[in-house]
Amino acid sequence: MYKERIVWMDITRIIAILLVVFIHTLDWAMSMHLDLNTRQWLFYQSARIFGRVGVPLFLFLSGALILPGITKVDMISFYSKKIPHFLLLTIFYFLLTNIFTLYIHDKPIDIITLTSFLLSGDTMAAGQLWFMFSIIGLYFMAPFLARMIDSLKTNEIILLATLSMSLVNLSEMYSIFFRKHLFLANIGSDFISGNIIYFILGYLVYKRNVFAKTSKTLLLLGAVISFVLLLATQYYLKITNNFVGEGFTWYNSLLIILISLFIFALLSKIDLQLSINSLKLLQFFSKSSFCVFLFHLIPLLTISEYTKLINMNIYVQIITISLATYLLCLVYYSFMVRFKLLRKLIL
In a domain, residue 59? The reply is yes
**Using 50, 70 and 90 to split pLDDT, how confident is the model at 2?**
very low
Say how far apart CA 64 and CA 142 lie, in whole Å: 11
Rounded mean pLDDT of 172-195?
A: 70
Number of domains, the chain: 1
In a domain, residue 275? The reply is yes
Q: Which residue range is the domain that position 315 belongs to?
A: 7-345
Say how far apart CA 263 and CA 268 lie, in whole Å: 9
pLDDT of 284 above 80: yes
In a domain, residue 80? The reply is yes
Say how far apart CA 123 and CA 222 lie, in whole Å: 36
In a domain, residue 25? The reply is yes
In a domain, residue 97? The reply is yes
**Percentage of residues in the chain with pLDDT exceeding 70?**
95
In a domain, residue 310? The reply is yes
Phi-psi region of 247 (alpha: psi -120 to 50; beta: other; left: phi over 0): left
pLDDT of residue 17: 97
pLDDT of residue 217: 96
pLDDT of residue 172: 75
Say how far apart CA 136 and CA 148 lie, in whole Å: 19
Q: What is the model's pTM?
A: 0.92
pLDDT of 3 above 60: no
pLDDT of residue 5: 78
With 0-12 / 13-18 / 19 or more C-beta atoms within 10 angstroms meaning exposed / middle / buried, residue 182 is middle
pLDDT of 193 above 60: yes
pLDDT of residue 1: 40
In a domain, residue 2? The reply is no
Phi-psi region of 106 (alpha: psi -120 to 50; beta: other; left: phi over 0): left
**Using 50, 70 and 90 to split pLDDT, how confident is the model at 74?**
very high
pLDDT of residue 188: 62
